[in-house]
Amino acid sequence: MTASPVRLLIVDDHPVVRQGLRTFLETRPDFEVVGEAGDGETAVAEAARLRPDVILMDLVMPGVDGLEALGRIRPPTPAPACWC
Amino acid sequence: MATPAGPTPAASVADAPASAALRAVTDVVLALAGEPGLEPVLERLVHAVRELVGARYAALGIPDEEGTGFDRFITSGMTDEQIEAIGPLPRTHGLLAAMLTDPEPYRTDDIRADPRFEWWPEAHPRMRSFLGVPLLFKGDIVGAFYLTDKEGGFHEADVELVRGLAAHAAVVIENARLFEASRERSIAEERSRLARDLHDALTQCLFSLNLTLEAAAAAAAGPDPAPTLEAIHQARALVDAALAELRTLIFELRPPALESDGLVGALRKHAELLSRAHAVPVTVSDARPPGAPGPEAERELWRVAQEALANALRHARASEVTVTVEADGPDGGTLLTVADDGVGFDPEARSIAARRLGLVSMRERIEAAGGTFEVLSTPGRGTTVRASVP
């Protein structure tokens, strides 16, 4: 069985954390990091554009924080899973 | 029993005319008003009360929170050796306790004849006459004066005199307590800022480092060495970043050399270090004519500058930060401006972020120093923090 990899969007205001998560996740064939965002505002736009399966969201960020971004992300059908 | 040996009681002010007694109480209270710490205040009070009434021994007891013992029990008229020999602080029982439950003063010519008297520790001096006066603050008993062994016993005039001092003492003690509580709060605030900075700066790096090393281990199992080397390369960069952050935090922990370098000198050193750690230029310009603000004002401005710079470099993703110190603040005082070209935020939003940025404590600091504080920021257009102190 060759299931297609899980498409991920990483949201964190710290570039080192995004980089670490990306490096780590990219060693796994079952995940594909399709995008990154450094704040809630970008996360909302990228979620709409990339339609990821899973969003890894940092809740505490300056500006639009994770909780607010989650509220603004329009869930497509089917909705992506969010792991905060 | 023969007349006990030891220090002769001072002449009692209570035996003097009422105006002299009042002046004596006023003198003590005024002398205490300038004392910032609780401990010296208590010591001066207990010596003063002993001298005022001419008792041989005096003590000031402050109960602990549970009310089962004394938080502080400070004596006058005993030598250090005597205090040492008596042993631990008394617990609140017997006559000592009575003064902490009954707001009325109590006086007797023979303490041992009182049914509430229990016992003395082995090395405790034997005492006869006794006067106990509770310290009342807004109706609550916050402590008590205990006086013993006045030649000829205590009189009604002594009671009134000590009661007068006790009323003032209660206020002075409460003030000193508030002062200590506020100092403790500042220390707690500094610690929580450090904890937050450690979290922001270091745990992120170490978390990332951990993931990167796991990636390296996973990649090492594959045939191609390139991904492994790439991950190790990244890991080294993260260690460098963590070291730089750690150095900055340690530098921030050291008290600034404000006295020797002055505000601008200390800011220049700090800016240089931050520039190197974060690879963002931080410039400091001094547009003041000679004549610095006082040391208190400098310290407050320094704290604000430190916090605002940390925000600009850690959260704002600024590419340039400027710090300016000028003489023409809105109230004619010194004006500090820290401006960055970073992501900015909405200063009106009462969100977690605003509290995290320490804006509330910056404002409180400056306003407590009689100055003005403002934050100008728009999302996407940088942040400017302006603090001025007279």
E strands, B176-313, in order: 282-287
Task: Please identify every stretch of chain B with a pLDDT value under 50, giving residue numbers as ranges.
Answer: 1-10
- Residue B373 neighbours by CB under 8 Å, 6+ apart: B304, B362, B363, B366, B367, B385, B386, B387, B388
Q: Give me the pLDDT at residue A52, please.
A: 93
Of the partner residues A16, A27, A63, the one whose CB lies closest to the CB of residue B343: A63
Return the closest-CA partner of residue A13 out of B272, B315, B352.
B315
Beta bridge partners of B325: B286, B336
Distance from CA of B205 to the nearest CA of A (A): 6
Q: Give me the pLDDT at residue B195, please.
A: 79
Residue of higher predicted confidence among A47 and B192 = A47
Q: Give me the pLDDT at residue A1, please.
A: 44
Closest residue of A to B219, CA-based?
A27
Beta carbon pairs, A and B, within 8 Å: 63
Distance from CA of B215 to the nearest CA of A (A): 5
CB distance B60 to B74 below 8 Å: yes
Closest residue of B to A17, CA-based?
B208
- Least confident range from A36-45, A52-61, B165-174, B213-222: namely B165-174
DSSP B288: P
3-class secondary structure, B141:
strand
**Cβ neighbours of B298 (radius 10 Å):** 22
Amino acid identity at B380: G
Residue of higher predicted confidence among B357 and A20 = A20
Q: What is the mean pLDDT of chain A?
A: 86
The answer to whether the predicted template modeling score (pTM) of the entire model surpasses 0.80 is no
- Least confident range from A12-26, A70-84, B310-324: namely A70-84
Contacts of A13 in chain B (CB under 8 A): 315
**Cβ neighbours of B323 (radius 10 Å):** 24
Which residue in A10, A24, A28, A59 has the most chain B C-beta atoms within 10 A of its own C-beta, making it the best mutation to test that interface? Answer: A24
Q: What is the dihedral sign for C-alpha B338, B341, B346, B352?
A: negative
Q: Do the Cβ atoms of A26 and B215 come within 8 Å?
A: yes
Q: Give me the pLDDT at residue B18, please.
A: 62
Contacts of A39 in chain B (CB under 8 A): 343
- Residue B219 neighbours by CB under 8 Å, 6+ apart: A27, B227, B228, B230, B231
* Distance between CA atoms of residues B99 and B84, nearest Å: 24
* Distance between CA atoms of residues B194 and B201, nearest Å: 10
Return the closest-CA partner of residue B190 out of B253, B146, B99.
B253
Q: Give me the pLDDT at residue B209, please.
A: 94
Distance from CA of A28 to the nearest CA of B (A): 8
Of the partner residues B219, B345, B357, the one whose CB lies closest to the CB of residue A27: B219
| Residue A61 tokens, joined | 């960020």
Of the partner residues A19, A21, A63, the one whose CB lies closest to the CB of residue B379: A63
Contacts of A26 in chain B (CB under 8 A): 215
Q: Give me the pLDDT at residue A28, please.
A: 85
- Residue B264 neighbours by CB under 8 Å, 6+ apart: B284, B286, B288, B325
